[in-house]
Amino acid sequence: MRFPAWRHLRMAFQILCLLAFLWLFLQTEYRGSDTLRYPVSLLFRIDPLAALADALAPGAFGWLLLWPALLLLALTALFGRFFCGWICPLGTTLDGVGKLVGRGRISPRPAWRRVKYYLLLFMTAAALFGVQLFGLLDPLSIFLRSLTFSFNPAFNLVANSVFDFFYQHPVPLVSPLVNGSYDFFRDHLLAFHPPAYQLALLTLAIFLGILLLERVERRFWCKNLCPLGALLGLCSRHSLTTRVPAKVCDDCRRCLSDCRSGAVTETAHRKDECLLCLDCSGFCPANRVVFTLGSRPTAGGRVDLTRRGLMTSLAAGALVAPVTGSAPNLWNRDPYLLRPPGSLAEAEFLRRCIRCGECMKVCIGGALHPALLQAGLSGFYTPLLVPRIGYCEYNCTLCGQVCPTGAIGLLNLAEKQKAVIGIAVFDTDCCLPFARGEECLVCEEHCPTGEKAIVFDEREVLVGSEMRRLKVPRLIKSRCVGCGICETRCPLEGASAIRVINEGESRRARDLWA
């Protein structure tokens, strides 16, 4: 009876945690108030990799934001890798999906276990020398990015299409039922702005690739590639939770084949690999396996990291920084590279941003999108403001509220409305009044600043053989904050006749590393 009890308790807790994280994900949305009611970035505030990235970045450590991650490390040092077996949403997804896609029976070489430690050392060395890569392989970032960029837009597209269909094509009994549920979906499940993101297919491919690794080996990602698992494993090597017996019994070797993490070997129980699922305390036919509190020697129970592997991973990480630094600073040369309001100076921003996608999920105007190579390789998946697609809402401070590491500072409304992202610039070769002699008032009408940053000058313009008096737009630079709504709303097809460039952005005054 012990096996079903522990197994069902763990599964129930995993599902409960997953549902809680999905609920927080849905709450990462504008619901009529500029203040979010719940700690929607909690998943990353308990993320030790986010804390490590923040600790290795310039500036002070964000104690107020990331103390839960330090608490998790302390609990892991005491009790072991319980987070991986009981809480991690990606681990729970792998456990569930593995039953659907099938689990491989291949046993990769033991050397694969070292890879996650080498990846952790590589990324730590790179961060020490100025290039932060933790967010690219952080399982929590991968999980949230996949939800934000791929699954949530698909869900919104399908749901809105269903509601539109049954609204336009009344079906007896069905249409009233579907349309009657719209208010609930709109208020609790659907996004304020229909989401659509760049890199959605790439994000989905990465996520599906991790899931399909279950066909190779159960929890292949967790055992061999996860840098968060490596960090938690290092912390749990001397934990108090001990398995008795530590090795497989001579008359039964079931632990070798059934342990989901492969933590039980011929000679020892590897604490740094054990996920504390406690399944083995139940599937033991003789009921011999128990877990007790009390540190005991675990000789032979660790993954051996070769000296060559250690030196190679550290050297490769240290080499990343100067190689990256020798490349042109694209962010300093690309005038269209825009960051969210409140962002830190670029060098510190790149080292604190964990690439979680929370700011992009919560953006009311749909302006924030993941970068590909616009900010260089080190800026992959960091948020960019793309004004032709969406704009920064003048009365919104949500992105600063959800950022778990402080890469985007929390601004009050008055500070936000003064924060300069960039300035708007007219392309007189395309702008209708300049290029065609046609009056257009759209940019001025949508400008949100107290005193309009876009004003009109009346001029006599020769159109064909006729003189016309037209209103010609002019930008007052001191009033423009670069919100981008003028570029979003410009009625021209294709490229806008007014573009926002990053000249004069507020954070440049703080950029000590430019």
**512 pLDDT above the threshold of 50:** no
- Mean pLDDT is lowest, of 15-24, 90-99, 200-209, for 90-99
User: So what's the pLDDT on residue 86?
Assistant: 93
User: Average pLDDT for residues 342-354, to the nearest whole number?
Assistant: 92
Please give the share of the chain, as a percent, with pLDDT higher than 90: 58
User: Average pLDDT for residues 156-178, to the nearest whole number?
Assistant: 91
User: So what's the pLDDT on residue 464?
Assistant: 67
How many CA atoms lie less than 13 Å away from 484 in the CB half-sphere? 26
**340 pLDDT above the threshold of 80:** yes
Please give the span between the terminal C-alpha atoms of the chain, in angstroms, as a whole number. 63
User: So what's the pLDDT on residue 209?
Assistant: 95
User: So what's the pLDDT on residue 382?
Assistant: 95
pLDDT-based confidence at residue 3 (cuts at 50, 70, 90): very low
SS (H, E, C) 334-384: CCCCCCCCCECCHHHHHHHCCCCCHHHHHCCCCCEEECCCCCCHHHCCCEE
Q: Which residues contact 30 (CB under 8 A, 6 or more apart)?
A: 192, 362, 364, 396, 398
**54 pLDDT above the threshold of 70:** yes
pLDDT-based confidence at residue 391 (cuts at 50, 70, 90): very high
Token digits for 340? 């969210």
Mean predicted lDDT score pLDDT of the chain: 88
pLDDT-based confidence at residue 70 (cuts at 50, 70, 90): very high
- On whether the CB atoms of residues 369 and 358 are closer than 8 A, the answer is no
User: So what's the pLDDT on residue 179?
Assistant: 87
**85 pLDDT above the threshold of 60:** yes
pLDDT digits (tens, 9 = 90+) for 401-440: 999 999 999 999 999 999 999 999 999 899 998 888 888 9
User: So what's the pLDDT on residue 154?
Assistant: 96
Higher pLDDT, 156 or 287: 156
Closest alpha carbon to 141 in 407, 486, 398, 385: 407
User: So what's the pLDDT on residue 514?
Assistant: 39
SS (H, E, C) 56-68: CCCCCCCHHHHHH
pLDDT-based confidence at residue 105 (cuts at 50, 70, 90): low
Please give the share of the chain, as a percent, with pLDDT higher than 70: 93
321 vs 405: CA distance, rounded Å = 21
57 vs 126: CA distance, rounded Å = 11
User: So what's the pLDDT on residue 419?
Assistant: 93
User: So what's the pLDDT on residue 212?
Assistant: 92
**384 pLDDT above the threshold of 60:** yes
- On whether the CB atoms of residues 37 and 27 are closer than 8 A, the answer is yes
Q: Which residues contact 219 (CB under 8 A, 6 or more apart)?
A: 91, 94, 95, 98, 260, 261, 275
pLDDT digits (tens, 9 = 90+) for 482-508: 999 999 999 999 899 999 999 888 887
pLDDT-based confidence at residue 513 (cuts at 50, 70, 90): very low
In the chain, how long is the greatest CA-to-CA distance? 102
User: So what's the pLDDT on residue 325?
Assistant: 73
User: So what's the pLDDT on residue 75?
Assistant: 95
- Mean pLDDT is lowest, of 228-232, 327-331, 385-389, for 327-331
User: So what's the pLDDT on residue 249?
Assistant: 73
**510 pLDDT above the threshold of 60:** no
User: Average pLDDT for residues 368-378, to the nearest whole number?
Assistant: 89
486 vs 481: CA distance, rounded Å = 11
Q: Which residues contact 514 (CB under 8 A, 6 or more apart)?
A: 329, 332, 345, 346, 347, 508
User: So what's the pLDDT on residue 1?
Assistant: 37
**297 pLDDT above the threshold of 70:** no
How many CA atoms lie less than 13 Å away from 169 in the CB half-sphere? 5
User: Average pLDDT for residues 250-269, to the nearest whole number?
Assistant: 74
Higher pLDDT, 173 or 120: 120
**104 pLDDT above the threshold of 80:** no
